[in-house]
Structures are given as C-alpha cells and as structure tokens.
A = this chain, B = another copy of it.
C-alpha cells in the first residue's frame, strides 16, 4: 500500500484525490492547499484525510511514498524537486515545469534515485487516443500527411501561462505518444487581447519528416467548445470529436488516388470516397487507467512512457513556441531537443 499526498486541491486536484483514494494499492493520507476554502472542501469529502496548508511540508513528509502535484505550473519544479530529494515517487501535472532546465533536473534526480516520475498527460489514456495509437501502429492510416487539432472554448484564463502552455501539451503529448520524438521544428503565432501579456488565441505548427504537418488551434475566446482532431493518411483518414461521446472516432476510407501521367499535368488525382466506420472506443475513465498504470510502474520499477523525459520533450517544444512567438513566428528547429534522452 503506497501512501499518497496530493498537493493542490483546485480544479484538477479533486479528480486526482478521488482516483487515488479509490485505487486499492494507494492510500490517500494527506492533501495540501494554501487556500482555506479549498481545504474546507477537501475536508468535507475526505474526513479521514489530513488536510494541511503547507505544500513543502507534505513533500518532505516521511509518512508519504507518493506525491501528486496539481498546483500552478511555476511551482511544479520546486515541489517535485523536494519530493524526489525526499525519496518519493512523483506524479506531476502538465506542463511538467516552466523551463526545460527545471525538467531536466527532475529527470536526472528521478533517474539517479530510481524513483518514478510521471507527467499527467491524461489524454494518452483515453479510449480515442488508445484506439488511434493502435490504428497507426498497425498502419491502417498509411503515411501520415497531417494532424489538425482544434482545442477551443470560452476558457478560464490562466494567470501564469498563455493559451499554448495551457492547451498545447495535450496535442504535443498525443503526437509524441503516437509517433515518438520525431518532431523537427515548431512555430507559433498568437495574440493576446487583454492586459495580461499572455496570448489567448494561438496557432501552433509542428513539422515532421516526409511533409507531415501538425497544427493546433488553441483559443480561450471561442463561443463554442470544440475538441476536434483530423488526421490524414495516405490510406485512410480519421476524425476525432471528443465532444461527441457516442461516435467520438470515425475512420474514413477516403483519400486521393493519384496517377502519374504524360502531358500537360503530370499528376491526375481523383478523390476516393469509401466507407466510414466508427470503431468501438473503450469507455474508460482515463485518469483511473493512468493511476493504475502509475501503480504498476512503481511496483515493477518500470519507466512509464509518459515519464519525465516525455514531459521534458513537451516543455522543450513549448519553449520553442515561446521563441517563435518572440521572433514573429519564425520556425524553430528542434534539432537538439531529443538528444537529452
């Protein structure tokens, strides 16, 4: 039985607390939040758990085996560092840290102390992403041509990060999971419309070999909530609408049939309109699956696929979007991004 402390009981923390408290091999024993109202809320739901204000105290508490960090991004590094230094396994929300240096330090710390460091890229554990992964792995889509994501809503403005750092980790981690660390370059455009210095509407492109292009529309100012992804491949295409619970994933036997030929136009491209099907997507609670996977990794001493290195890669790409924004959308090469493991 692993004893768990959760730091941060704001928006996402309650979901983490609930899932850890329900897992048979975890025992939730401590929750920390600096806000008195949030502590009162935690106390009501978990009368048997100790609720405290001091996050640092929790991270060094000798009774705790696992620290779960769900605080604002700029605090992740210090809290995770304390927890790792005190020999605890760490689950940290995305994005992992504010800088890649911080992320690298955590990766090294975890490695040197043989601790599990996992970044909560929840989407990787959803039915649709699991299904997409399996479609791609068995080459049902063929060569990938593009990955287009629209992730927009009338959003909660984050105070310390822009809309890219808030929303792009989902798509960046999904692409990293589907294709491995193969991104070559990144660029970003965005604009902020309030006096915060933070972009609230942004467009991010990620470039891969073989003309694969990924693109994310990220927006806190949309009147409608959308979570839509299109993936085009040489064989098939897919559409994922995460707001459509009944038919979230559709696979289209559509594409272009291309013939080279003589004459004025050397290529003749004809659209192919085939059947569409919607595979059964397992209706799992992603977070429950992920908490269970975290437990397996700790027990077996296995490195999770969404480990600190994965988190570090995402942070490097986020930093690249910052550099691109600062240089008017310049494409930023990621050449050395993957070297650091």
Interfacial residues, chain A to chain B (CB-CB below 8 A): 22, 44, 47-48, 145-146, 148, 150, 152, 154-157, 159, 187, 189-196, 200-201, 203, 205, 211-213, 215, 217, 219-225, 230, 232, 234, 237-239, 246-247, 250, 252, 254-256, 258, 260, 264-267, 269, 271, 273-280, 328-331
Contact = CB atoms under 8 A, between A and B. Distances in A.
B239 A223 contact: yes
Contact of A222 (B205, B230, B247): B230
Identify the 7 closest CB pairs spanning chains A and B, nearest first: A223-B252, A277-B277, A223-B237, A157-B269, A276-B278, A191-B211, A159-B265
Contacts of A273: 154, 280
Given A191-B145, A191-B146, A232 B237 contact: no
15 contacts: A22-B44, A146-B219, A148-B201, A154-B255, A157-B267, A157-B269, A159-B265, A189-B205, A189-B215, A195-B267, A201-B232, A221-B232, A223-B232, A223-B239, A223-B276
B275 A279 contact: yes
A176 to B, nearest CB: 20
Main secondary structure, interface of A, reads strand
A260 B331 contact: no
B276 A247 contact: yes
Nearest to A215: B203
Nearest to A44: B22
Contacts of A225: 246
Contact of A196 (B159, B247, B269, B279): B269
Contacts of A200: 145
A261 to B, nearest CB: 11
A204 B307 CA distance: 35
A322 to B, nearest CB: 17
A271 B155 CA distance: 7
A282 to B, nearest CB: 10
A255 B195 contact: no
A304 B154 CA distance: 37
A237 B328 CA distance: 26
B221 A145 contact: yes
A178 to B, nearest CB: 18
A331 B327 CA distance: 10
A253 to B, nearest CB: 8
Contacts of A265: 159
Given A187-B329, A222-B237, A277-B278, 5 more contacts: A145-B193, A154-B271, A191-B213, A194-B267, A205-B329
B274 A275 contact: no
B256 A194 contact: yes
A221 B256 contact: yes
Contacts of A280: 273-275
B201 A146 contact: yes
Contacts of A258: 194-195
Contacts of A201: 145-146, 148, 213, 232
